């Protein structure tokens, strides 16, 4: 336990530019290659529903459970007033959630705490696991958490750092694609119960504008995350 605590509180060496760029490219492939994306998208759904649940708890709603489905959709059920700022905040959290988690991860990595990031993620997954209400969701979180635990416990410092960067890039890059898929679904006549459409019914603001807000937030997080990664400074010969 002393070794674990030391690794949590110690600053790990900065990875090379090759590792940072390489993990970004690997994350992009996991997102752009459709056969793989059908499976890796579940990580985005976990973050999406986790964001709903986190905000629901913060605004005082009673979280009744989270379900994750094999088609990478999910639903978070909370009890409370069906309208008002609290419900709006919960609906707003979903699509920006993965990007904001990715941005927080990028900040932690920029300070050199890759191991602390992985163990913090494990703690968040354990808390999320307590709210899962279906077998597929339970399996999804356990598989993802098992992979994170394996790297955190048995991986070398270099492997842990690379894996942390891969997860961070994945969240930052996948979030905008999820927003694009939302709008594609809406244009095809689906998604009428989406977060954007529920926000339209609550606020009167067109759903397309909410989709735009989701897109701007996710792209903004990606841009800041790229800056925090240090890649632009390294390529430009900065310090």
Looking at the domain assignment, is residue 199 inside a domain? Answer: yes
pLDDT at 193: 86
Contact 98, 217 (CB under 8 A): no
**Residue 186 to residues 167, 171, 215, Cα–Cα distance (Å):** 28, 23, 15
pLDDT at 1: 64
Q: How far is CA 236 from the centre of its chain?
A: 29
**Neighbouring-strand partners of residue 34:** none
**Which element (helix H / strand E) includes 67?**
strand 62-68
Looking at the domain assignment, is residue 1 inside a domain? Answer: no
Looking at the domain assignment, is residue 238 inside a domain? Answer: no
pLDDT at 233: 74
pLDDT at 7: 73
Domain limits for position 52: 13-230
pLDDT at 43: 97
**Which element (helix H / strand E) includes 206?**
none
How many CA atoms lie within 13 Å of 54's alpha carbon, on the beta-carbon side? 18
Looking at the domain assignment, is residue 5 inside a domain? Answer: no
Contact 52, 65 (CB under 8 A): no
Cα 68 from Cα 73, distance rounded (Å): 6
Q: Pairing between strand 62-68 and 74-79?
A: antiparallel
Task: State both tokens at 202.
Answer: 């609550």
Looking at the domain assignment, is residue 235 inside a domain? Answer: no
Number of separate domains in the chain: 1
Looking at the domain assignment, is residue 42 inside a domain? Answer: yes
- Helix then strand count (H, E) for the chain reads 11, 2
Looking at the domain assignment, is residue 19 inside a domain? Answer: yes
Contact 115, 159 (CB under 8 A): no
pLDDT at 239: 54
pLDDT at 191: 66
Q: Which residue has the tokens 């990664």?
A: 229
pLDDT in tens, the chain (239 residues): 666 677 777 888 889 999 999 999 999 999 999 999 999 999 999 999 999 999 999 999 999 999 999 999 999 999 999 999 999 999 999 999 999 999 999 999 999 999 999 999 999 999 999 999 999 999 999 999 999 999 999 999 899 999 999 999 999 999 999 999 999 998 877 767 899 999 999 999 999 999 999 999 999 999 999 999 988 877 776 55
pTM of the shown model: 0.94
- Cα torsion 182, 188, 194, 199: sign: positive
Looking at the domain assignment, is residue 136 inside a domain? Answer: yes
Task: State both tokens at 45.
Answer: 């759904």
């Amino acid at each position: 336990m002393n070794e674990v605590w030391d690794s949590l509180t110690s600053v790990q060496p900065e990875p090379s530019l090759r590792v940072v760029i390489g993990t970004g490219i690997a994350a992009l492939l996991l997102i752009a290659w459709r056969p793989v994306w059908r499976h890796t998208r579940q990580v985005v759904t976990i973050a999406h529903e986790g964001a709903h649940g986190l905000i629901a708890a913060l605004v005082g709603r009673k979280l009744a459970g989270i379900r994750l489905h094999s088609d990478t959709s999910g639903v978070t059920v909370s009890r409370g007033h069906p309208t008002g700022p609290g419900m709006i905040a919960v609906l707003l959290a979903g699509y920006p959630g993965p990007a904001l988690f990715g941005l927080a991860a990028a900040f932690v990595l920029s300070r050199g705490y890759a191991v602390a990031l992985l163990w913090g993620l494990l703690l968040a997954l354990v808390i999320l696991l307590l709210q899962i209400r279906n077998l597929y969701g339970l399996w999804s979180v356990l598989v993802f958490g098992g992979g994170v635990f394996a790297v955190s416990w048995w991986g070398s410092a270099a492997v842990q750092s690379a894996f942390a960067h891969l997860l961070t890039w994945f969240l930052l890059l996948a979030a905008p694609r999820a927003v694009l898929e939302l709008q594609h679904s809406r244009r095809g006549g689906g998604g009428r119960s989406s977060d954007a459409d529920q926000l339209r019914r609550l606020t009167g603001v067109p759903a397309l504008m909410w989709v735009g807000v989701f897109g701007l937030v996710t792209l903004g997080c990606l841009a800041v995350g790229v800056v925090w990664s240090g890649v632009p400074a390294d390529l430009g010969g900065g310090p």
